[in-house]
Chains A and B, each alone.
Chain A
Amino acid sequence: MGILRKSVERLWLVVVLIVLWWFASAGSTSIFYPSLDTIVSTLWTDLASGLLIGYLGFSLGNLLAGLALALILGIGLGLLIGEIRWLGEAVEPFVDFLRSIPQVAIIPLIIGTFGLDAGPKIYSIAAGCIFPILLNTIDGVRGIEPTVRRFGKVYRISGPRYFRKVVLPGALPQIMAGVRVALPIGITVMVVSELYAARMGIGFYILNSSSTFHLTETWAGAVLVGIVGYLISIIFNLIERGSLRWYFKSGATTK
């Protein structure tokens, strides 16, 4: 019963809006505002033909690879920059410089430099996702309790073990908050990176259809990106709950 009620609380508005959209757009003859009916059937046709599945696979593969790169670099560098004071002093001006550059603006540069394959798209996604992860990791590391650090020193826990078992878990709540911010950026850059120079991918599908006036397909692509984003955030929530069980539970106990 609990789950059912929760689902109803969460989903009723979505259902209402879809129904409203359905009836408001029914019978539309505008090529700019096709009816939801035709959007859904176009989406279904292109999914069933395997075209969109292939595109989606390409795009999500890039997203995953870019995100993995951003996680490895962002968390790795963040732990070092946050923990080692002199390194932080030296590197932070560069971090502030780089993160002020809008990621979307440098995509043509990255593609121009690295070519038209999946590689530059992955780098673009990584470049967009790394900053929230990096900055949150640095903050998380610096926010670790002084007593925890004293414990580590007195009980002579050092080196990789100190980073892996003390600093990383201590900063993890903040790191996860950074990943939450990075995900929608990654999805945006994923789509935008395929608008410039691509022969496949969900972004290419959207651009190609809109420039050939198949606007129903443009709508279908946009709806698909939204659905993918929603599913990714659900998966992320599950991962976050699982990896930070102690954080949510101990927080609940003290409140």
Chain B
Amino acid sequence: MTTTAVTTPASGPVPGAAPELRVERLSIRFGQGESLNRVLEGLELSVAAGEFISIVGPSGVGKTTLLRCLSGLVQPTEGQVYVRGEAIKEPHPAVGVIFQDYSRSLLPWMTTAENIAFPLEGRFDKKERVARAEAALSSVGLAGQGRKYPWEMSGGMQQRVAIARGLAYEAKILLMDEPFASVDAQTRLNLEDLVADLQEKLGLTVVLVTHDIDEALYLSDRVVVLAGKPAAVVETLDTNFGDHRDQAATKSDPRFGEARTKILGILGH
């Protein structure tokens, strides 16, 4: 890994530091009476600065609801989410979200550069916004593509733009909801490596929701398994395949296979 930036914080949790993201006795229920839907119950979670965690679990278990709660889009029925020690009631400025349906979260009436620069309005002047958008595009491998519209790009490129938008926003915590679910397999591997690379370079804290166990194991420091109805954390698995990973080598590591077997066992396969 080349280190170009002035400060290059190492990835991985810093011992003793306050958690970047903390969830306390979180419960989410929808509806009332007969139609009461208990989605999450008494969930506890703590993510250290610079840590990469994945949340896996069966479809419909409440992974996306949990992520929306972390992003401040959904208010929990009980419990509290803390971002950098602050109890949140609405989206926190340090948090960026990468949505699953990138083609809908990018605004089709703006060019990619405008899409990236748009959330910076009010914080920087125009010149600075343009410069930051261009820098963010370069960091996701799309230098010089700012004048294209999102709909002129492939799915993978659009998701790169969405990631660039989060980076330009200077999000320190990236919440990703199935970000690679709707791109082809090859693009998916490329995007995984891009995210791993950026996370390490920028010292980002990442929470990734996915139902792909290989992806979770490959990218994360820690995999959190959600299951049950209402859902709770049934297993937390530290991955120990080292910091520098490689699609072929890491995935053929025997420890990788053991971890995968263990999670599959928990999920009942």
* Residues of chain A at the chain B interface (Cβ within 8 Å): 145, 147-148, 150-151, 153-157, 161, 165-166, 169-170, 172, 246-247, 249-250, 253-254
Q: Distance (Å) between the CB of A238 and the closest chain B CB?
A: 18
8 residue pairs A–B, Cβ–Cβ below 8 Å: A147-B99, A147-B101, A153-B73, A246-B108, A247-B109, A249-B151, A250-B149, A250-B151
* Residues of chain B at the chain A interface (Cβ within 8 Å): 68, 71-73, 90-91, 93, 95-97, 99, 101, 104-105, 107-109, 118-119, 121-122, 149, 151-152, 165, 169
State the CA gap A150–B68 with chains docked (Å).
9
Q: Distance (Å) between the CB of A172 and the closest chain B CB?
A: 8
* Pair A156/B119 contact, Cβ less than 8 Å: yes
Q: Distance (Å) between the CB of A251 and the closest chain B CB?
A: 9
* Pair B169/A155 contact, Cβ less than 8 Å: yes
* Pair B109/A153 contact, Cβ less than 8 Å: no
- A254 contact set on B, CB distance < 8 A: 151
State the CA gap A101–B31 with chains docked (Å).
40
- B72 contact set on A, CB distance < 8 A: 153-154
- A157 contact set on B, CB distance < 8 A: 118-119, 121
* Pair B107/A169 contact, Cβ less than 8 Å: yes
- B93 contact set on A, CB distance < 8 A: 156
* Pair A148/B151 contact, Cβ less than 8 Å: no
Among residues of B, the one whose C-beta sits closest to the C-beta of A161 is B121
User: 4 tightest A-B contacts by CB?
Assistant: A250-B151, A155-B119, A147-B104, A169-B109
State the CA gap A252–B226 with chains docked (Å).
41
State the CA gap A254–B151 with chains docked (Å).
8
* Pair A148/B105 contact, Cβ less than 8 Å: yes
Report which of B97, B122, B151 forms a contact with A154, defined as CB distance below 8 A: B97
* Pair B99/A151 contact, Cβ less than 8 Å: yes
Among residues of A, the one whose C-beta sits closest to the C-beta of B175 is A154
- B109 contact set on A, CB distance < 8 A: 169-170, 172, 246-247
* Pair B149/A154 contact, Cβ less than 8 Å: no
* Given known A147-B101, A155-B169, contact A165–B118 (CB-CB < 8 A): yes
Q: Distance (Å) between the CB of B160 and the closest chain A CB?
A: 16
State the CA gap A254–B93 with chains docked (Å).
34
Q: Distance (Å) between the CB of A73 and the closest chain B CB?
A: 24
Report which of A154, A161, A250 forms a contact with B95, defined as CB distance below 8 A: A154
- B97 contact set on A, CB distance < 8 A: 150-151, 154
- Which of A155, A166, A249 is packed against the most chain B CB atoms within 10 Å? A155
- A151 contact set on B, CB distance < 8 A: 97, 99, 105, 107
What's the dominant secondary structure at chain A's contact region? Answer: helix
Among residues of B, the one whose C-beta sits closest to the C-beta of A165 is B118
Q: Distance (Å) between the CB of B173 and the closest chain A CB?
A: 11
* Pair B73/A249 contact, Cβ less than 8 Å: no
Report which of B96, B101, B149, B151 forms a contact with A155, defined as CB distance below 8 A: B96
State the CA gap A155–B169 with chains docked (Å).
8
* Pair B91/A153 contact, Cβ less than 8 Å: yes
State the CA gap A218–B90 with chains docked (Å).
65
Report which of A150, A161, A166, A253 forms a contact with B151, defined as CB distance below 8 A: A253
State the CA gap A166–B121 with chains docked (Å).
13
- A147 contact set on B, CB distance < 8 A: 99, 101, 104-105
- B122 contact set on A, CB distance < 8 A: 161
- A247 contact set on B, CB distance < 8 A: 108-109
Among residues of A, the one whose C-beta sits closest to the C-beta of B104 is A147
State the CA gap A175–B239 with chains docked (Å).
53
Beyond the given A157-B118, A172-B109, could you list 9 further A-B residue pairs with CB under 8 A, ordered by the A residue number?
A151-B97, A153-B90, A154-B95, A156-B119, A165-B107, A165-B118, A169-B109, A246-B109, A246-B149
Among residues of B, the one whose C-beta sits closest to the C-beta of A150 is B73
* Pair B71/A154 contact, Cβ less than 8 Å: yes
* Pair A166/B96 contact, Cβ less than 8 Å: no
- A253 contact set on B, CB distance < 8 A: 151-152
Q: Distance (Å) between the CB of A244 and the closest chain B CB?
A: 9
Q: Distance (Å) between the CB of B17 and the closest chain A CB?
A: 25
Among residues of A, the one whose C-beta sits closest to the C-beta of B97 is A154
* Given known A250-B149, A253-B152, contact A150–B99 (CB-CB < 8 A): yes
Among residues of A, the one whose C-beta sits closest to the C-beta of B121 is A161
- A161 contact set on B, CB distance < 8 A: 121-122
- B68 contact set on A, CB distance < 8 A: 150
Q: Distance (Å) between the CB of B59 and the closest chain A CB?
A: 19
- A250 contact set on B, CB distance < 8 A: 108, 149, 151
State the CA gap A151–B162 with chains docked (Å).
10
State the CA gap A112–B85 with chains docked (Å).
67
Report which of B90, B105, B151, B169 forms a contact with A246, defined as CB distance below 8 A: B151
- A172 contact set on B, CB distance < 8 A: 109
